[in-house]
């Protein structure tokens, strides 16, 4: 419906409904308490403010933004550096400014500013999207704020830049081989070691069971002592630091004893192949990966040389040597990562606990389990608007029930029906944004609206994905719904820009 103000009601409407749903949820989370901190009306106030700002920005011509892209970007970098010095440390990260009653988070602002600059840059380099330097500079634009955020330290926020960058490159026409390569490379190089380490943790219990079944009870104390270090011990006889006295003597004796050592190794191997599977055995074999990696890398090199010497007639070889090269490099770096970095137990657990939260000790996987149970308890139509037990009160059983897990709170109250409804509304915002991007005549507008849509999309994906237990827990709030003035205002500003683009998309 195009009314005379050319207001895109779908966009605005969806956002407004979501915000109100959020405020309502916040209200129900506190209404029982005599002394609630009154989050819901604070949120309402910020919403009012944000709405005004949003509509105001909408009136502006977005092309003004194009002019101010670089200063905005630099300004956001400056703020990021400033927060490292003057910021307040909340939850272990210096990511917030405290300005009286209001908290401001510069990382959100940086994300918006980066998208702005990227849009401008990619529009300028429209024809050069196939060239490597373009990509590198685009990476660079993202890398600076990412590094500054990582220093805070806030890995979740920093990581959120990556999918936005990749999507913008994708939509701007970058060569898929290039992007794909980067994605594959990093995925493989990180996933393979993580996969191995994940199994190192979860295979300890089967090992204990296996040894008990065989009656090899003299080996059991070693496993109980070493836990996840048992694999290194079985392979190389390595005893970790921190084990002293009688325990250490026992382990040294065990390592020296040929028979016991052999039976331990045998037990380890059978457990790893039975419970871990063929894939694990393949992946943890460093020599195999090394050999494969070298094979792929060398063949890629050969193909590349062929192409360079023989000229453009063999341009199709590109389709071969890039993937080969990428696979080779990623296998090699996987081995490198696996052998050089020793991941600490809690790092691995944090990232992989969501796969099977019951295997991990209570506190590590607690958020995932609690959130899943809370969402699941909503069943079809919810437990009732005011019956959200797990997400209520000052210390709710699902932590961060007001912020990162607000979606959980909503689903507990409104069930599957309410959850899908709100998800639909939430996703309709980036979807509508894609439509705007599609219909825009101006390249900058397309890129900008796409970028903002991507930002919303990935925020929603990550937050909801965490809440339902499909992704590891990183602290990312849900746009429009999570409690927090800073996030709400930033989201409204982004929405305003989007509306501004939407308003003028048929122009030019």
Tokens encoding 249: 């003597």
For other proteins, give the closer residue by CB, 29 or 333.
29
- Per CB under 8 A, does 159 bind other proteins? no
Site for other proteins in 257-316 (CB under 8 A): none
In 3D space, the residue among 426, 486, 428, 490 whose CA is nearest the CA of residue 8 turns out to be 428
Site for other proteins in 423-442 (CB under 8 A): 423-424, 427, 430-431, 434, 437-438
For other proteins, give the closer residue by CB, 451 or 496.
451
Residue with tokens 């195009």: 2
**Nearest approach, Cβ of residue 375 and other proteins (Å):** 5
**Nearest approach, Cβ of residue 369 and other proteins (Å):** 8
Helical ranges in 127-275 per DSSP H: 132-150, 155-159, 161-172, 176-202, 204-214, 220-226, 230-236, 245-256, 258-271
For other proteins, give the closer residue by CB, 148 or 168.
168
- Per CB under 8 A, does 167 bind other proteins? yes
How big is the site for other proteins, counted in residues (CB under 8 A)?
Answer: 47
Which of the stretches 148-156, 224-232, 291-299, 467-475 binds other proteins when contact is defined by CB under 8 A? 467-475
Q: What are phi and psi of 215, to 5 degrees?
A: 80, 15
- Per CB under 8 A, does 357 bind other proteins? no
In 3D space, the residue among 503, 496, 497 whose CA is nearest the CA of residue 49 turns out to be 496
**Alpha-carbon span 254 to 277, nearest angstrom:** 28
Which of the stretches 216-224, 301-309, 334-342, 373-381 binds other proteins when contact is defined by CB under 8 A? 373-381
- Per CB under 8 A, does 152 bind other proteins? no
* Contact of 299 with 156, CB cutoff 8 Å: no
- Per CB under 8 A, does 468 bind other proteins? yes
Which of the stretches 74-82, 105-113, 204-212, 383-391 binds other proteins when contact is defined by CB under 8 A? 383-391
**Alpha-carbon span 175 to 270, nearest angstrom:** 45
H or E element at residue 102 = strand 102-104
Tell me the per-residue interface mask from 6 to 45 with other proteins, x by CB under 8 A, - otherwise. Answer: --------------------------x-------------
Residues 413-439 as b/e (b if ≥16 CB within 10 A, e otherwise) read bbbeebbeebeebbbbbbbbbbbbbee
Residue with tokens 């890039």: 322
Q: How far is CA 245 from the centre of its chain?
A: 43
Candidates 446, 479, 482, 500: give the one binding other proteins (CB under 8 A): 446
Contacting residues toward other proteins, per CB under 8 A: 32, 126-127, 167, 170-171, 173, 370, 372-380, 383, 389-390, 392-393, 395, 397, 411-412, 415-416, 419-420, 423-424, 427, 430-431, 434, 437-438, 446, 450, 457, 461, 464-465, 468-470
């Amino acid at each position: 419906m195009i009314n005379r103000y050319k207001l895109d009601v779908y966009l605005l409407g969806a956002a407004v409904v979501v915000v109100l749903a959020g405020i309502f949820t916040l209200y129900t989370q506190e209404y029982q308490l005599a002394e609630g901190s009154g989050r819901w009306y604070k949120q309402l106030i910020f919403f009012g403010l944000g709405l005004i700002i949003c509509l105001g920005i909408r009136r502006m011509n977005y092309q003004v933004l194009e002019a101010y892209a670089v200063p905005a970007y630099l300004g956001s970098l400056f703020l990021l550096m400033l927060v490292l010095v003057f910021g307040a440390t909340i939850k272990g990260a210096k990511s917030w400014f405290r300005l009286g009653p209001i908290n401001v988070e510069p990382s959100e602002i940086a994300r918006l500013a980066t998208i702005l600059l990227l849009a401008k840059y990619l529009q300028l380099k429209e024809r050069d999207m196939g060239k490597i330097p373009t990509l590198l500079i685009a990476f660079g634009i993202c890398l600076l704020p990412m590094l500054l955020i990582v220093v805070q330290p806030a890995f979740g926020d920093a990581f959120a830049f990556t999918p936005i960058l990749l999507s913008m490159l994708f939509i701007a026409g970058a060569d898929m081989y290039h992007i794909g390569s980067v994605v594959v490379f990093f995925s493989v190089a990180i996933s393979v070691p993580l996969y191995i380490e994940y199994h190192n943790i979860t295979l300890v219990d089967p090992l204990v069971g296996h040894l008990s079944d065989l009656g090899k009870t003299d080996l059991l104390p070693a496993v109980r002592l070493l836990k996840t270090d048992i694999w290194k011990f079985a392979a190389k006889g390595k005893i970790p630091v921190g084990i002293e006295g009688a325990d250490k003597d026992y382990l040294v004796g065990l390592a020296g004893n040929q028979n016991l050592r052999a039976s331990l190794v045998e037990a380890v191997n059978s457990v790893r192949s039975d419970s871990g599977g063929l894939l694990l055995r393949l992946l943890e074999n460093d020599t195999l990966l090394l050999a494969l990696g070298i094979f792929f890398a060398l063949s890629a090199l050969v193909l590349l040389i062929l192409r360079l010497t023989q000229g453009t007639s063999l341009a199709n070889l590109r389709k071969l040597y890039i993937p080969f090269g990428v696979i080779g490099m990623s296998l090699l770096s996987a081995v490198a990562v696996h052998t050089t970095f020793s991941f600490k137990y809690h790092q691995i657990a944090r990232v992989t606990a969501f796969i099977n939260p019951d295997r991990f000790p209570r506190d590590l996987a607690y958020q995932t389990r609690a959130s899943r149970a809370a969402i699941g308890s909503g069943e079809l139509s919810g437990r009732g608007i005011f019956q959200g037990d797990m997400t209520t009160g000052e210390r709710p059983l699902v932590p961060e029930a007001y912020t990162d897990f607000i979606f959980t709170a909503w689903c507990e109250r409104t069930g599957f029906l309410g959850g899908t409804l709100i998800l639909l509304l939430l996703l309709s915002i980036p979807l509508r944004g894609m439509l705007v991007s599609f219909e825009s005549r101006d390249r900058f507008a397309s890129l900008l609206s796409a970028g903002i849509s991507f930002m919303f999309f990935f925020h929603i994906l990550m937050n909801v994905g965490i809440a339902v237990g499909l992704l590891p827990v990183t602290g990312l709030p849900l746009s429009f719904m999570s409690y927090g003035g800073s996030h709400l205002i930033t989201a409204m500003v982004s929405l305003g820009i989007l509306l501004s683009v939407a308003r003028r998309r048929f122009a030019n």
